[in-house]
Amino acid sequence: AVLGVFALWRLAGIHQNLVELADNTLPSVLTLDECAARSRDSMFAAQQYLLADSDDRRTELDQRIASNKARIDELFQRYEPLISDNEDRRLNGEAKQTRADFAVARNRLLELVRQNKTEESRKWLTETVIPAYEASIRALQANVDYNNKLGMAAGAAGKEEAASSTRLIRFALVF
């Protein structure tokens, strides 16, 4: 009976580590990765905006950017309950702020293009939009890396818990 109670206690620890991986780490990483993918697509759309040769093409790109923005907003809302601790919250705050900075810079670029300010828009792209985009992607990646670190720790703890439990149960069965 004591062995059964011990085994259940150890299984509970393993379960907690698996829950952390399945219910937090994996959804966190997938959500943040999709945010990064949508941000990349918005950056490409902004660059294509400079080269667009018709209002129809620009309208299409505007819609693509708006769709990406809406999806990223949704993803950030979905991420909120997945935040693990204060560091994760801080990193997520940085990701949100750098994303907002990128959006402001990108929107200014689109306005310059609409005003046919070709040289000014190219300069703005190079000096402001691209650095803002890069900062946004770095912030998202830092958040992904942190969640990967948490997941790896939970995985390692689960493996160690399982291995030590197996050893202790075998020992108990022999004696």
For 5-26, the pLDDT digits (tens) are: 776 777 777 777 777 777 888 9
Asked if 146 and 88 count as a contact pair (C-beta separation under 8 A), the reply is yes
Asked if 77 and 96 count as a contact pair (C-beta separation under 8 A), the reply is no
Asked if pLDDT for residue 1 goes beyond 70, the answer is: no
Asked if 77 and 65 count as a contact pair (C-beta separation under 8 A), the reply is no
87-130 tens-digit pLDDT: 999 999 999 999 999 999 999 999 999 999 999 999 999 999 99
Both tokens of 33, joined, read: 């990765």
Tell me how far apart the alpha carbons of residues 60 and 154 are, in angstroms, rounded to a whole number: 44
45-66 tens-digit pLDDT: 999 999 999 999 999 999 999 9
CA distances from 139 to 6, 57, 88, 93, 106 (A): 43, 31, 11, 9, 17
CA distances from 117 to 112, 113, 133 (A): 5, 6, 21
Q: How confident is the model at residue 134 (pLDDT cuts 50, 70, 90)?
A: very high
Tell me how far apart the alpha carbons of residues 39 and 28 are, in angstroms, rounded to a whole number: 17
> Please, which residues have CB within 8 angstroms of residue 39's CB and are 6 or more apart in sequence?
68, 72, 99, 102, 133, 136, 137, 140
Average pLDDT on 133-143 reads: 98
pTM, two decimals, is: 0.84
Q: How big is the chain by its Cα radius of gyration, in Å?
A: 24
